[in-house]
Amino acid sequence: MTGLTAFEAVARLGSFTKAASELGVTQAAVSRQIHLLEKDLGVPLFRRLHRKIEATDKGRSLSAATTTAFNLMADTIAEIKRDESHEGLTISASVAFSHFWLLPKIASFSKKYAEIPLRIISQDNAASLDGSDIDLAIRYGNGMWPDGRAELLFEDEIFPVCSPDYAEQLGQFADLHELTRHPLISSDTEDPSWTGWDEWFAAFAIQAPKRPAGLRCSFYTEAIYAALNGQGIALGWKRLVKNLLDQKALVRLTGHSVTTRNGYFLIEPSRSAKNARVAQFVEWLRVEARDLEPNQ
């Protein structure tokens, strides 16, 4: 390990002198460690040129491996230290998921594990888990993310919703085509997997209006609040608006629905060290994700 440590520093810094300074030893000591390592491996790792060194092909290969291994060890040690000094959990999720699904349920976790402080980071652009202090993330998509291990929590079902007062004004409608003549509340998103009105109507072979009447909001949360305030009809993602439907703050307009192409996933950082707090939250989340209506 001493020889590999010296080698990694030399390869990264491109200098015996700089490596010796970083490691707090003499240049001669570094040179000796490299010599012993080359002797043990039976191949040269560096070409000694005039006033500089250059890694050989074998040296570059070993350099890539040692850098990866040392970074992994450093990250793991940092994670272990953080686990010992930081007793809370940091959870990342989209604004809509946090607002409508996670936060209404989180009190049951806090009641059961009062000793675990929680920090919720809500942002629609998913933060990378590499090198961050996020313990767990909840994302919508296909489950293919390079920075963590994904576990499907649930898929969702999408249907039109509005306020009870607006539904009363709307009255009965003969078919889905009639919905296109009413204010349709939409939300902007750059996520191609998110289902909007165009995709929803297309599932029933209906052409959505090119210039629909209705509010266009920046975020899904705004679209739902607009529907709550009687501004028109929004698409309700069942798992997200379930509480609002149960409270009769929103009503479902039709039995027609579309099942999402993707799902909500729990993401654990690839390099995270297991600890009791993470395990407890994951188990709680799994139970909540299975909390379906009796008729489902």
Domains in the chain: ranges and CATH? 2-84 (1.10.10.10), 86-155+262-289 (3.40.190.10), 157-259 (3.40.190.10)
Of all residues in the chain, the percent with pLDDT exceeding 90 is: 43
Q: pLDDT tens, 68-119?
A: 888 888 777 766 666 554 568 999 999 999 999 999 999 999 999 988 999 9
- pTM score > 0.85 for this model? no
> Distance (Å, rounded) from C-alpha 58 to C-alpha 66?
12
Tokens at 59, concatenated = 């040296």
| Confidence (pLDDT) at 272 | 60
In eight-state DSSP terms, residue 127 is P
Query: What is the mean pLDDT of the segment spanning 31-59?
Result: 88
Q: pLDDT tens, 246-263?
A: 999 999 999 999 999 899
Read off φ and ψ for residue 9, nearest 5 degrees: -65, -45
**Angle (CA) 160 121 96, round 5°:** 5
- One-character DSSP codes across 169-205: HH---SSGGGGGGS-B-EE--S-TTS--HHHHHHTTT
List all residues 6 or more positions away from 219 whose beta carbon is below 8 Å from its beta carbon: 95, 96, 124, 187, 188
Helix (H) or strand (E) holding 119: strand 118-122
The b/e string for 128-164 (b: 16+ C-beta within 10 A; e otherwise) is ebeeeebbbbbbbbebebebbebeebbebebbbbbbe
pLDDT exceeds cutoff 50 at 294: no
